[in-house]
Amino acid sequence: QVQLVQSGAEVRRPGSSVKVSCQFSGDNFSGTTIAWVRQAPGQGLQWLGRIIPIIGAGNYVQKFQGKVTINADESTRTVYMDLRSLKSDDTAVYYCATLRESGYLDYWGQGTLVTVSS
Amino acid sequence: DIQMTQSPSTLSASAGDRVTITCRASQNIGSWLVWYQQKPGKAPNLLIYKVSTLQNGVPSRFSGSGSGTEFTLTISSLQPDDFATYYCQQYHTDWTFGQGTKVEI
C-alpha cells in the first residue's frame, strides 16, 4: 500500500518561489513515477509534470517548462516540486500522485495549498 | 495540445437516477482515457482507467465506454455518496484533464 504525505500550506509573495515535498511510503519508490497536478480555487485539474526517481530527470508539460522543477531524493524517499516566479494565478492546491503505465493516477497526497499574495 | 471537453458541466439528478457524462477529445486518443471522482476538499479518486477498467474497490454501478474521441462515464443508479465532481483525463499525448462535471442534487 502506497502513502504520499505532502508538506504544509505555504504563502509566498509574487516573484518568489516555493518548494513542496511529497514523502513516499510503500514499495519500489525508485521505480515509481510520481506526478504533480494542481487545482486553482474552484477550478479543474492541471498537469505539471512527472519524475521517475531512479532516472532523476523530471518531464514537464510544455506550459510549465522553465517554471517547474521536479526532483527526487532516494535516500529520504521524497519528491520535490519547485515552482518559481510565482504569480497570483499560481495560487492552487498542489497534489503529488503515483502515475501508472496505463496513464492513471492511483495514489494521491493530501494536497498542499500554495497562496501567492502581496 | 489535446483538449478534453466534458458535458454537461453540471448535472442535476436524484438518487436512483441513471447518469451519463460525456468526454470528447480533440483528437484520437485510442483507449488512453481515465475517470476520477472528486469531493470538496479532497484529492481526486481513481474510478476507471483504459476507458472501462474499474479500479479495485469501485462499485460496479460505475462503468465506462467509448473509443477514439468520444467516451462516457455511466452511473447506473446514483447513490448519495456519488454526488461529486467527475473528471476525465487523457494520456495519449502528454496529459490533460477535462474541465469537470459536477453531479448535484
The bridge status of strand A10-12 relative to strand A112-116 is parallel
Quick: pLDDT tens for B28-62.
Answer: 999 999 999 999 999 999 999 999 999 999 999 99
Q: CB-based contact (8 Å) between B54 and chain A? A: no
Quote the DSSP letter at residue A20: E
Encode pLDDT of A13-67 as tens digits.
999 999 999 999 999 999 999 999 999 999 999 999 999 999 998 999 999 999 9
Find the mean pLDDT for residues B8-36: 97
User: Both ends of chain B: CA-CA distance in Å?
Assistant: 34
Mean pLDDT of the B69-87 span = 97
Residue A6 pLDDT > 90: yes
Q: How does pLDDT run across A87-118, given as a tens digit for each residue? A: 999 999 999 999 998 899 999 999 999 999 99
> What is the band of B105 on the pLDDT scale with cuts at 50, 70, 90?
confident
- Measured CA to CA, the distance from residue B55 to residue A33 in angstroms comes to 18
Query: A115 vs chain B: nearest CA distance in angstroms?
Result: 16
Q: Among candidates B25, B22, B26, B24, which has minimal Cα distance to B7? A: B22
Chain A / chain B CB contacts < 8 angstroms: 58
Minimum Cα–Cα distance from B3: chain A residue: A46
Q: What is the pLDDT of residues A19-30, one digit of tens each?
A: 999 999 999 999
> Residue B93: what pLDDT?
83
Q: Percent of chain B beyond pLDDT 70?
A: 100
The verdict on a CB contact (< 8 Å) between A95 and B87 is: no
Q: What percent of chain A has pLDDT over 90?
A: 92
Give the strands of the sheet with B19-25, arranged side by side. B4-7, B19-25, B70-75, B62-67
Q: In whole angstroms, give the CA distance from residue B84 to residue B95.
A: 22
B54 neighbors B62 (Cβ within 8 angstroms): yes
Alpha-carbon gap, residue A81 to A78, rounded angstroms: 10
Q: Give the model confidence (pLDDT) of A67-90 as tens digits.
A: 999 999 999 999 999 999 999 999
* Cα A46 to chain centroid, rounded: 11
Any chain B CB within 8 A of the CB of A100? yes
Phi, psi of A14, deg, nearest 5:
-55, 140
The whole-angstrom separation of Cα A28 and Cα A77 is: 10
